Chain A
Amino acid sequence: MLSSIILKPVKAIFGNRPGRGFLIAGTIIVLAVVIMAIFAPFIAPYNPTAISSDTFSPPCWKHIMGTNRLGQDVFSRIVWGSRIILYVVLVATAFSMVLGIPVGLVSGYYGGKLDRVLSTVMDSIYAFPALILAIVIAVVLGPSPMNAAVAIAFVYVPTYFRMIRGQTLSLKGQLFVEAAKAIGARDREIMLKYILPNLIPTILVVFSLSVADAILTEAGLSFLGLSVTPPTPDWGYDLRVGQAFFLDGYWWLVFFPGLMIMLLAMAFALIGEALSERTSTSAR
């Protein structure tokens, strides 16, 4: 009984500490991967697609993450592979935001029949397994990183739409919006000047969490062979190739690409978690 009374103020002061730790850890990992992607030619010790006779070498000083069946350096492939996953995920997320945010805003603001139809469609897509839908779209469009991005963008539009629509609904009834209306602000002005700025914290939280999801979906698509084509280095695809050999003991072919996928997704999830705590918007 006493403990919960004492704990509350203590938590209020120190409650931010794990949150801050999460934020810092997440940011460091994301920055590290971004730097890796930008400076790939200088960081990678070998050409990621160069074939050599030094096949299946376990991690050693010459190849810190070993080599694969073609004698390619796993570390160099991981460094270069960061480019593909960041590219696909960022393009996809940008698409989803460009579609989901304005449509959610307009739908929530005006309401009515259009809103009901849009909500039903978005809810149906949202409730369906994202990966399965992304697979179907990627199959039809054909395997390429850009098509994978389109598929991922499509399945994450409802995430933004639903969040923005819900927030707009609750914001439009608030006093400051009423006041703006009273002084004669037009709908467009209210949406862009009064509601949208208030949505930015939500957008940031949804962005980091949906990027984490998108990373796993991208990795899933390329693991299933629906993104890059060989010999392009890519984490998900390299994991798929490694699967054929790792049970024979070549664990490094699987361990490092998968670890990178998890770290990158985790970094964005950590940032999202910390941000959602700070902005006190529950993200789910």
Chain B
Amino acid sequence: MSRGITQYVLLRALMIIPTVLILYTIVFIFMRILPGNPILAVVGTKSISPEQMKHLMHLAGLDKPLYVQYFDYLWQLLHGNFGVTLAFPMGVPVADYLRLRFPATLELTIWSFAISVILGLLTGTLGAVKRGTKLDTSMRLYSIVAYTLFIPWFGMILQYIFGVWLHILPTSGRINPNVNLHTITGLYVLDSILTGNWSAFVSSIKHLILPSLTLGIVLSGAYTRLVRNNMVEVLNQDFIRAYKARGVKDWKVTWYALKNAFIPVITLMGLQFAILLGGAILTETTFNWPGMGTFIIDRIEYRDYNAIQGAVVFFAFFVGLISLIVDVIYALLDPRVKY
């Protein structure tokens, strides 16, 4: 059994490689093979001498043939090197930025993820238990409306309500700049617990509420729908009727049904995480959150193709890792899956 699962995890982990390769290739094709010189894109309207251009091209490795560039970068990736930035400041390893920015995005997505799952389970269960009623229809409507909220808009509305009207929550950043926090993991809430820093803990939680609520609510809609439909199916099964016939309390029956309806939800979590990362770009931009999203947007301003490519490849790794974790959890929970 334990050898079986180890083998399964290893085999499944190997499947990340083609995913990353495919995404790297797509980005590479778009960025390098399409006409246009990345250096020219960086310097924009400023004129530089041919020698300077040659020097810059050489520094960035752009003077080599395309296929060499393609494999060079892969070789670097194997060593954990994501390339260097092309634009201001030039020549900084992209990995340095990722190390700095990724924990911020991770913290935001973990909280949003938790909120979306909890909200989705609550609303979906409500809809299923009260199926066919007005409450069920409102939950279905909630699912659709939540799903189609435009993240920056919804975020700004929350900023307006809680930041401008009520004045109780901060609308931008990760932590009060006057609070000193010694970072260990880069996840501020965790770091403030580890260092026993109470004021940093309060400040980082306060800053997290609005962005993670924005992203969490928007993503909860997909769960609502799935949980509701699964629950309705489970609630119609014989074992649930048997429980009810035996006089098991309603909330207990609901709990058993929820446990059974949950397994398919795990599959959705993998895909939802990808959407979560896409949504994080907009959330970070709206709340001025210093994560991967704002990093990509910053680099867009400079047309820094290298940094953008590095970020995308990193995201591809991360998405692959999440779907690996989801699949393993699924395999562990569902005895029907053979590994």
Mutual binders A and B: yes
Q: Which residues of A contact B (CB under 8 A)?
A: 1, 4, 7-8, 10-11, 14-15, 18, 22, 120-121, 123-125, 127-133, 135-137, 139-141, 212, 216, 219-220, 223-224, 226, 239-240, 243, 246-247, 249, 251, 254-255, 257-259, 261-262, 265-266, 269-270, 273, 284
Complex CA–CA separation, A255 to B36 (angstroms): 38
Within 8 Å CB of B271, what residues of A? 127
Within 8 Å CB of A259, what residues of B? 153
Complex CA–CA separation, A212 to B34 (angstroms): 30
Complex CA–CA separation, A232 to B199 (angstroms): 46
Whether A128 contacts B144 by the Cβ 8 Å rule is no
Q: Given that A132-B277, A254-B153 are contacting pairs, would A125 and B148 also be in contact in the complex, using a CB cutoff of 8 Å?
A: no
Within 8 Å CB of B171, what residues of A? 247
Q: Given that A120-B18, A131-B282, A269-B147 are contacting pairs, would A139 and B308 also be in contact in the complex, using a CB cutoff of 8 Å?
A: yes
Give per-residue flags for B137-166: 1 if the beta carbon is below 8 A from chain A beta carbons, else 0: 100100011011111111011011001100
Q: What is the CB-to-nearest-CB distance from A247 to chain B, in angstroms, rounded to a whole number?
A: 6
Complex CA–CA separation, A224 to B298 (angstroms): 11
Which of B152, B157, B303, B320 interacts with A223 by CB under 8 Å?
A: B152
A240: nearest chain-B partner, CB-CB: B152
Within 8 Å CB of A265, what residues of B? 148, 150
Whether B144 contacts A132 by the Cβ 8 Å rule is no
B136: nearest chain-A partner, CB-CB: A18
Whether B132 contacts A131 by the Cβ 8 Å rule is no
Q: Given that A11-B132, A139-B303, A249-B164 are contacting pairs, would A128 and B315 also be in contact in the complex, using a CB cutoff of 8 Å?
A: yes
B208 at the interface (CB under 8 A from A): no
Q: Given that A1-B244, A129-B278 are contacting pairs, would A136 and B312 also be in contact in the complex, using a CB cutoff of 8 Å?
A: yes
Whether A18 contacts B137 by the Cβ 8 Å rule is yes
Whether B19 contacts A135 by the Cβ 8 Å rule is no
Interface residues of B in 244-284 (CB under 8 A from A): 244-245, 268, 270-271, 274-275, 277-279, 281-282
Q: Given that A4-B235, A121-B22 are contacting pairs, would A131 and B152 also be in contact in the complex, using a CB cutoff of 8 Å?
A: no
Interface residues of B in 280-339 (CB under 8 A from A): 281-282, 285-286, 296-297, 300, 303, 305, 308, 312, 315-316, 319-320, 323
5 contacts between A and B (CB under 8 A): A1-B244, A15-B132, A127-B320, A127-B323, A243-B152
Complex CA–CA separation, A220 to B312 (angstroms): 17
Complex CA–CA separation, A259 to B145 (angstroms): 11
Which of B145, B245, B285, B297 interacts with A1 by CB under 8 Å?
A: B245
B268: nearest chain-A partner, CB-CB: A284
Which of A8, A243, A266 interacts with B156 by CB under 8 Å?
A: A243
Q: Given that A125-B26, A129-B319, A255-B157 are contacting pairs, would A18 and B149 also be in contact in the complex, using a CB cutoff of 8 Å?
A: no
Which of B153, B244, B274, B297 interacts with A261 by CB under 8 Å?
A: B153
Q: Given that A1-B245, A121-B22, A124-B23 are contacting pairs, would A135 and B300 also be in contact in the complex, using a CB cutoff of 8 Å?
A: yes
Complex CA–CA separation, A128 to B277 (angstroms): 9
B285: nearest chain-A partner, CB-CB: A224
Q: Which residues of B contact A (CB under 8 A)?
A: 18-19, 22-23, 26-27, 30-31, 34, 36, 131-132, 137, 140, 144-145, 147-154, 156-157, 159-160, 163-164, 171, 222, 226, 235-236, 241, 244-245, 268, 270-271, 274-275, 277-279, 281-282, 285-286, 296-297, 300, 303, 305, 308, 312, 315-316, 319-320, 323
Within 8 Å CB of A239, what residues of B? 150, 152-153, 156
A257: nearest chain-B partner, CB-CB: B153
Complex CA–CA separation, A249 to B136 (angstroms): 37
B172: nearest chain-A partner, CB-CB: A247
* Those 6 A-B pairs whose CB atoms lie nearest each other, nearest first: A258-B153, A129-B278, A131-B278, A265-B148, A124-B22, A266-B148
Whether B153 contacts A132 by the Cβ 8 Å rule is no
Q: Given that A136-B27, A139-B303 are contacting pairs, would A131 and B147 also be in contact in the complex, using a CB cutoff of 8 Å?
A: no
Q: Given that A135-B281, A247-B163 are contacting pairs, would A128 and B30 also be in contact in the complex, using a CB cutoff of 8 Å?
A: no
Whether A262 contacts B148 by the Cβ 8 Å rule is yes
Which of B144, B282, B303 interacts with A269 by CB under 8 Å?
A: B144
Whether B286 contacts A243 by the Cβ 8 Å rule is yes
Q: Given that A124-B23, A129-B278, A258-B152 are contacting pairs, would A273 and B145 also be in contact in the complex, using a CB cutoff of 8 Å?
A: no
Q: What is the CB-to-nearest-CB distance from A240 to chain B, in angstroms, rounded to a whole number?
A: 8
A216: nearest chain-B partner, CB-CB: B150
Q: Given that A135-B300, A224-B297 are contacting pairs, would A246 and B160 also be in contact in the complex, using a CB cutoff of 8 Å?
A: yes
Whether A251 contacts B279 by the Cβ 8 Å rule is no
